[in-house]
Amino acid sequence: MTNKIKFSLILGIFFTFLSVSLSAQLEKGKLVDGIAAVIGNEIILESDIEEQINYAAQQGTAAANKCQVMESILNNKIVVYEAKRDTLIENRTEAIKENANLKYNQILGQFPDEKTMLAAYKFRTGYEMKTAIEKIDSDQYYGQAKYQSITQKADVTPNEVTDFYNTYKLQLPEVKDEVTLAQISIYPKLTESHKEEIIGRLKKIKQDILNGESFESQARIYSEDPGSAPNGGLMKNISKGQMVKPFEAAALNLQEGEISDPIESEFGYHIIKLERRAGKMYDARHILIATTPTADEIETAKKELDVIKTSIEQGKITFKDAAFKHSDDKRTKFNAGILTDNAGSDRMERLSLSPTLGYQVAGLNKGDITDVFEDELNRRKAVSIVKIEEVIPAHQLTIETDYDRIKQLALNKKRNEMVEKWIKQRIPNIFISIDNRYADCSFQPELKKSILTK
């Protein structure tokens, strides 16, 4: 019999989850959708299955059929259901609900009004859309938490990695063109007169509030924080350590109802009103004026970074040392400026690079450094240079050149097997009902028993 990697492994991890992407999930307004299965008090909708099939096709796994996808989602939902019953997993219901409201407001900020947004996502009400976002985030959190709990002791030996490679090497995907990149980014510095102008605006807003205007209305009008401005600047249930230090220090030095003077953080200048404080949690409103640089300030930063680039090219300083000394990118400055992808790998596919970054490195070779270009870092204007540290042409995975990647695939497989074994043990103790449209699917016997008869 030919060995095959299971569908879930081809997708990269056991949990593909229902939240492939927020926009894809919201697109159909799925609250008015057909139910394919019920697991405890969790449900699977027909559109969940269709969207996973579409996602699989986009990832090059179009051969996966509806039954395979259904079984994968059933397994995910069983884990989610059990996770919500697990008292050792922190209950984050309130935090998830609050975060859903923030996401809703962020999406709303991209549309002229709520009606237009709801029409675009095919929801009847804001409540329906918020509920859908909350459901996605809840499944994501609880599923991942339980998955990690089940697989926390998983590990693979070098021999197991080699055995995995020898068994599955003909099925392992080809690696597309990759690059390893290092970056130095700096934020343009505002002139003193520009800073004073921002501080002056906030002082006037504060005085207007003290004179009778509501903080909430002023935040809606003036705040440049897209997440909280539509909600009157309100951020609820903030835990200590969650916010940047200048913000937290200012907020926690206030009495309830008191408003701070303008304070500076990495995002700009704020005035803050402490609404409520209870132990290690607090609610606060803020009005943010972002430190958006002028064209002249950006040009000054470009010249500064160009001088740094010249020093690197002349051998006066290494790129690594220059990144540590000058870069404002906290993610990379302590790691020689090396960029990593979402999985933490420093080898990134060229096709997955952002349009700006892909354009800048196009046609460059190992050791080349881009010209200084305008960029965005943490939602702020920045200027950057990028060095091509390594170029890896497209190739088939081999144990000699891709050991770490193959080890991760082998580890994923072991984790999958641990979770699948755990699921089989749990199925007899869970109410599961599957629509008889899936009666012809070759599910594992335990799931087969759950298919409704006509």
Structure tokens at 20: 């492939």
pLDDT score recorded for residue 228: 87
pLDDT score recorded for residue 201: 96
Q: What is d(CA 450, CA 321) in angstroms, rounded to the nearest whole number?
A: 61
Domain 7-171+401-448 belongs to what topology? Triger factor/SurA peptide-binding fold (1.10.4030)
pTM for the predicted model, two decimal places:
0.66
Provide CB contacts within 8 A for 266, sequence distance 6+: 244, 378, 380
* Signed CA dihedral, 392, 394, 400, 401: sign only: positive
Q: What is d(CA 363, CA 355) in angstroms, rounded to the nearest whole number?
A: 14
Specify whether the CB–CB gap between 96 and 145 falls below 8 A. no
pLDDT score recorded for residue 103: 85
pLDDT score recorded for residue 55: 66
pLDDT score recorded for residue 281: 85
* CATH 1.10.4030 domain range(s) in the chain: 7-171+401-448
Q: What is d(CA 416, CA 427) in angstroms, rounded to the nearest whole number?
A: 16
C-alpha separations of 395 from 61, 175, 398, 401 in Å: 19, 5, 9, 10
pLDDT score recorded for residue 211: 95
Query: Could you tell me the end-to-end alpha-carbon distance of the chain, in angstroms, rounded to an integer?
Result: 36
DSSP character at residue 306: H
The pLDDT tens digits for 205-254 are 999 999 999 999 999 999 999 888 888 999 888 888 888 899 999 999 99
Structure tokens at 113: 């009004």
pLDDT score recorded for residue 251: 92
pLDDT score recorded for residue 194: 96
* Residue 182: strand pairing partners: 338, 387
Provide CB contacts within 8 A for 249, sequence distance 6+: none
Structure tokens at 298: 């950006």
pLDDT score recorded for residue 28: 45
Region 176-188+294-396: CATH code: 3.10.50.40
Q: What is d(CA 353, CA 391) in angstroms, rounded to the nearest whole number?
A: 14
Q: How many CB atoms lie within 10 A of CB 3?
A: 8
pLDDT score recorded for residue 385: 97
Specify whether the CB–CB gap between 377 and 330 falls below 8 A. no
Q: Rounded to an integer, what is the distance from CA 208 to the centroid of its chain?
A: 38
Q: Give the DSSP per-residue string, 64-93.
A: --HHHHHHHHHHHHHHHHHHHH-TTS---H
pLDDT score recorded for residue 337: 95
The pLDDT tens digits for 319-328 are 999 999 999 9
Mean pLDDT, all residues of the chain: 87
* CATH 3.10.50.40 domain range(s) in the chain: 176-188+294-396, 192-290
- Plot region of 269 (φ>0 → left; ψ -120 to 50 → alpha; else → beta): beta
C-alpha separations of 74 from 248, 420, 427, 432, 444 in Å: 42, 11, 10, 9, 11
* Residue 265: strand pairing partners: 268
Burial of 155 (0-12, 13-18, 19+ CB in 10 A): exposed
pLDDT score recorded for residue 453: 52
Q: Can you tell me which residue has the tokens 């329906």? A: 128
* Signed CA dihedral, 203, 208, 210, 211: sign only: positive
pLDDT score recorded for residue 58: 61
Specify whether the CB–CB gap between 104 and 118 falls below 8 A. no
Phi, psi torsion values for 66, nearest 5 degrees: -60, -35
Specify whether the CB–CB gap between 4 and 106 falls below 8 A. no
The pLDDT tens digits for 8-51 are 433 333 444 434 444 444 444 443 458 889 999 888 888 888 87
Q: What is d(CA 172, CA 60) in angstroms, rounded to the nearest whole number?
A: 12
Helix (H, G, I), strand (E, B) or coil at 52: helix
Specify whether the CB–CB gap between 274 and 248 falls below 8 A. no
Helix (H, G, I), strand (E, B) or coil at 269: strand
Largest CA distance in the chain: 80
Domain 192-290 belongs to what topology? Chitinase A; domain 3 (3.10.50)
Phi, psi torsion values for 259, nearest 5 degrees: -115, 135
Q: What is d(CA 213, CA 190) in angstroms, rounded to the nearest whole number?
A: 30
pLDDT along the chain (454 residues), means of 10: 43 40 46 76 85 68 73 91 93 88 81 86 88 89 94 95 94 90 96 96 96 95 90 86 89 94 93 91 93 95 97 96 95 94 86 92 95 90 96 91 91 93 92 89 82 58
